Chains A and B, each alone.
Chain A
Amino acid sequence: MNLAAYGLSAAATIALAAAIAALVVPARWRPAVSGTGTALAGLAGLVGGAAAAGGQSFAVALPGVLPLSGVSLAADPLSGVFMAVTGGVAVSVGIYAIGYARHTGTGPVPAAVLPLFAASMLGVLAAASVPTLLACWELMALASLLLVLTEHRRRPEVAEAGRWYAVMTHLGFACILAGLMIFAAHAGGDSFAALRAGAGRLAPAAWGTVFVLTLAGFGSKAGMVPLHAWLPRAHPEAPSHVSALMSAAMVNLGVYGIIRVDFGLLGGGGARGWWLLVLALGAVSAVYGILQAAMCGDLKRLLGYSTSENMGLVLIGVGAAGLFAASGQRLLAGLALAAALLHVANHAAFKTLLFLSAGSVLRGTGIRDLDALGGLRAPMPVTTAAFGWGALAASALPPGTAFVSEWLLVQALIHGFPGGGTAAAVVLPTAVAAVALTAGLAVATFVKAFGIGFLARPRSDGAARAVESPVSMLAGMGLAGAACAVLALAPGLVLPAIARAVSATGLAGEPPPTGGGLLTLRLAGVAGAVSPMLLTIALLAVMLAAAAGLRAVPGRRARRAARLWDCGAGPLTARMEYTATSFAEPLQRVFDDVVAPETDIDVSHHDEARYLVAAVEYRSRVPDRIEHRLYRPVLAAVGAWGTAGRRLAPGSVHRYLGYGFCAVTVLLIVLAVTR
């Protein structure tokens, strides 16, 4: 047993103990027990994951635990990186949940499920065989579903979000199940080692089927467009710390599945076309996700769409890695995969921070609608600072975290260009453009979310009465913020672990994709370097110099407060401020054809004179177009099919016996013919 194994077993034990304790302790202690248990399990997972990422791998088989197949667990640097990320998120979320659950109150079931959810995610990452993976995956899906449904008694929307989530997560599970079963049947074994060894025996058709099925299943968990429909529904309706755990940790497991199964086990090679598909889906997810986020007026829904966007960026990296590996550019494949993994870690850090601060806003004001928020800086200074730091990190601007990973991603795409052939000459510039458009729209989105949501004056009574959150919630946010700062300024701390994870996927034998120490990030093999730390120091130095220069101006006078310029029309009211909807309007017009907004204008006239307008009602909505065009028809068809099928079951026992008789007869005939 090494530190990785100890960490994981400790995480499982603590989570189980906390779950049982949360069921039996009095309600007063429940939030503390559940939150502390989650945080400790997360800490154990973080330590174990860090040890595994540092090279301490282990493998253990427990044949007696699960009937028929047994449980087989292992950790290598790849799962270690994801475990450390999951554990880190769980630590922040656990500490935060203590204060959050105390405010909203928590039933015994959600309190008990929270630590189990964290542990089941670690279980997915530690799985080393198909049955173990599937069992943990399903446990994770059920745990998260129960957590999403926490507030279903209070709000009817939660139940609808829960139904969407339940259906989509199980369809995804079915895809993964089918894909992995086909894989295992062809490979002749269900442990990951057997799958890896047998991957070469797969016929191209079987290979493609397994690839598409697992991509669909894992991709739907990662919020990949067009299988993202559950994400912007379930994330906003869950309690905020659960949203953080789902959005920052659970969606990563979809990416982990794709990297583990499709890249690692199926072999990074295969036809280039499949990886082009991954890249294209990633690009579409990134642009579509951020476009919807830019239009979105609901703070948590916006963050949910932004998750889709960031997973899209990660998938661009994974797709590019597969593409490069398939065409023999293994160094660049490593670089692209390292960019994707670094973005996973960065996204986890800033999305935890953003969801936790959004939860703090929700607790303090009771409002999620950006159009009704604003003016939170004075009453909620820490939350405002936390969200601002998270928004900077999310918008790929220096010195934010996403800047480093997106820089790395773009470098991988650019350097793959000269040696990639004609397909790469068309695909890679388009991918760079998609990343660039995503980065630009992300800036617009987060300027909107932070500027409209937190700055200026409150736009409603709820926002005006905001109160700051308790210390435990702020501490959870502070931890996530510190993680953002470390990842942004010293990515060199985590890059060695990511390099080991990259070589664990089958790109072994190559030099680590990045180097250059703590201060500077230098690419190996190709020219390119960036130093977020030096940039930040330079920025701060110039700001201090400019401030000192201003103070040194002779005859300088004291700062004075003044009225805003109101065109001489009296004081400006909060109603006159720009809202999130008006802020997004230019973008909505530009992308009119893509997002297809719906607007209704009702004009009602006076009864006496039709020429006098009594009231004008204007309603504008940006529906999720993919959901509208893709899911509604399918749902309608299924519904119609069900209604039609009802005629087959009129309630007559004779008819049912007849069905049974016919079925047996047909079966016998088929057997007689085929045997």
Chain B
Amino acid sequence: MNRVGIAGGVIQVLLVTGGAPLLAGVMRQVRARLEGRAGPGVGQPWRDLRKLLRKEPVTPAGTSELYRVAPLVLVATTAVAAAVAPFVTAASAIGPAADLFAVAALLAMGTATLALAAIDTGTPFGGMGASREVTIMALAEPTLLVSVFALSVRAGSTGLAAIVGATLHDPARVLSPGSLLAAVALGVVTIAETGRLPVDNPATHLELTMVHEAMTLEYAGPDLALVELASAMRLCVFLGLLASLFAPWGIAVSAAPLALAVGAAAFAVKVGLLGAGLAAAEVFMAKLRLFRVPELLAGSFLLALLAVTASWFLAA
């Protein structure tokens, strides 16, 4: 725990919390423009959140405390992940918590809590969404951990700071086959875990095809605002992890104000670009059938496994 880490932690939480709705706005705007629509503007998610926050909180009949606490847990897990990951600074606010496994487990914790809240409503849609979400999460887990394995081989540690530090130290490693394969695998995991096309359609209004949206169907008012904010932050955290793990340039290594400002700007630009790219790619994609998703995840798992073995056989 040092000054750089704490400064980074605070800036990252503020940046991710404030910027995540903007990221969602940018992605929707890119999509709207590519589809020939004018789009509501980049600030629309923030305006939606403001509107929701002022509404009356509603508790659906028969739900328990877990249903009311779940949005808070969801925001908390994502915010802690945002605080400990090296986005703006290479050091971490809580060093021992900045393990890549710990971050992955934190994000999974958020998913599981939301799934429980969805089951708690007792509606068929809630149960359906929860069932699908945990299925996808369970199948994405091996890819995630094996990609982490591949990345940790060159750093000798699964600590995020160590991995980012190793990449900064030796930038050419990013272009090694192992690293590139791991990047593709982690990209697929990001899409699956954040519920983007082709795994889940965040803009769907047909209940039968929903995954994430089906879970949040009963939420309204401030609770919904928290859930929406958390899912935007989650996307931001995943894209930020991709950016920091494979392109950590610009990241602050000292606590000087200029370095921090450059780090924050670089992070915003990288995540913005990744998000815009993802949104642009989504325009050309349709949602996969739910039972084709495991094939996609199995493919990404193979890539991750290849990444590990490549890092062994090609390094030897």
Contacts and interface: CB of A to CB of B under 8 A. Distances in A.
B153 interface: yes
Contacts of B141: 436-437, 439-440, 443
A550 B61 contact: no
Interface stretch (B124-132, B243-251, B272-280): B124-132
Contact of A562 (B61, B145, B152): B61
B52 to A, nearest CB: 10
A456 B119 contact: yes
A427 to B, nearest CB: 11
Interface string B74-104: 0111011001100000000011110101100
Contact of A583 (B69, B130, B312): B130
B4 interface: no
Interface string A524-559: 001111110011001110110011001001111111
Chain B contact surface mostly: helix
Contact of B131 (A435, A516, A562, A582): A582
A615 interface: no
A457 B156 CA distance: 49
Contact of A521 (B96, B134, B218): B96
Nearest to B298: A590
A389 interface: no
A585 B158 contact: no
Contacts of A547: 72
A407 interface: yes
A560 B57 CA distance: 6
Contacts of B156: 415, 418, 526-527
B102 A407 contact: yes
Nearest to A437: B142
Contacts of A587: 135, 138
Given A396-B105, A546-B76, A557-B56, A526 B157 contact: yes
Contact of A450 (B53, B116, B145, B146): B116
A426 interface: yes
The bracket for how many chain B residues form the interface is 35 or more
A433 B149 CA distance: 10
Contact of B145 (A388, A435, A554): A435
Nearest to B138: A440
B53 A553 contact: yes
Contact of A535 (B62, B79, B94, B152): B94
B184 interface: no
A415 B149 CA distance: 9
Contacts of A556: 222
A398 interface: yes
Residue of B57, B101, B115, B291 ringed by the most chain A CB atoms within 10 A: B101
Contacts of B62: 375, 456-457, 564
A565 interface: yes
A480 B142 CA distance: 31
A605 interface: no
A430 B77 CA distance: 29
Given A414-B149, A564-B62, A576-B124, A557 B80 contact: no
Contact of A398 (B57, B102, B126): B102
Interface stretch (B28-36, B39-47, B259-267, B301-309): B301-309
A560 B58 contact: yes
Given A447-B116, A456-B121, A520 B127 contact: no
B122 interface: yes
B23 interface: no
B109 to A, nearest CB: 4
Contact of B119 (A435, A557, A578, A589): A578
B146 to A, nearest CB: 5
A576 B69 CA distance: 25
Contacts of A441: 138
A33 B188 CA distance: 59
A553 B54 contact: yes
Contact of A455 (B66, B94, B159): B66
A586 B108 contact: no
A557 B123 contact: no
A622 to B, nearest CB: 16
A230 to B, nearest CB: 27
Contacts of A584: 131
Nearest to A455: B120
Given A534-B96, A578-B126, A586-B131, A546 B115 contact: no
B76 A395 contact: no
Contact of A417 (B72, B153, B305): B153
A560 B59 CA distance: 6
A378 B80 CA distance: 31
A432 interface: yes
Given A398-B109, A577-B127, A414 B217 contact: no
B215 to A, nearest CB: 11
A365 interface: no
A562 B60 contact: yes
A522 interface: yes
A578 B59 contact: no
A529 B145 CA distance: 17
Interface string B138-154: 11111011100100110
Interface in A405-444: 407, 410-411, 414-415, 417-418, 422, 425-426, 429-430, 432-437, 439-441, 443-444
Given A590-B139, A590-B291, A429 B149 contact: yes
B61 A564 contact: yes
Given A447-B116, A456-B62, A589-B291, A433 B127 contact: no
Contact of B134 (A447, A546, A560): A447
Nearest to B207: A567
B97 A535 contact: yes
A354 to B, nearest CB: 16
A131 B291 CA distance: 55
Contact of B305 (A377, A410, A429, A564): A429
B145 to A, nearest CB: 4
Given A403-B105, A425-B312, A590-B294, A455 B217 contact: no
Contacts of B61: 561-564
A562 B62 CA distance: 9
A451 interface: yes
A572 B95 contact: no
B174 interface: no
Given A553-B222, A565-B218, A572-B122, A440 B60 contact: no
B20 interface: no
Contacts of B130: 447, 451, 578, 583
A242 to B, nearest CB: 30
A559 B58 contact: yes
Residue of B64, B137, B145 ringed by the most chain A CB atoms within 10 A: B145
B106 interface: yes
Contacts of A535: 80, 94, 97, 102, 106
Contacts of A430: 305
A46 to B, nearest CB: 30
A432 B80 contact: no
Interface of B: 53-62, 64, 66, 69, 72-73, 75-77, 79-80, 83-84, 94-97, 99, 101-102, 105-106, 108-109, 112, 115-116, 119-124, 126-128, 130-132, 134-135, 137-142, 144-146, 149, 152-153, 156-159, 162, 217-218, 220, 222, 226, 290-291, 294, 301, 305, 308-309, 312-313
25 contacts: A398-B106, A418-B153, A440-B141, A444-B137, A447-B130, A448-B131, A455-B120, A456-B120, A457-B122, A527-B159, A527-B162, A528-B158, A529-B95, A534-B97, A539-B76, A546-B79, A556-B222, A558-B57, A563-B60, A563-B61, A564-B62, A564-B123, A565-B218, A586-B291, A590-B291
10 nearest A-B pairs in the assembled complex, by CB-CB distance: A578-B127, A440-B141, A440-B138, A451-B119, A527-B157, A456-B122, A436-B145, A531-B96, A542-B76, A425-B312
Given A443-B138, A529-B159, 16 more contacts: A407-B105, A434-B142, A440-B138, A441-B138, A444-B134, A444-B137, A456-B119, A529-B96, A530-B99, A538-B84, A550-B53, A557-B57, A565-B218, A572-B122, A583-B127, A590-B135
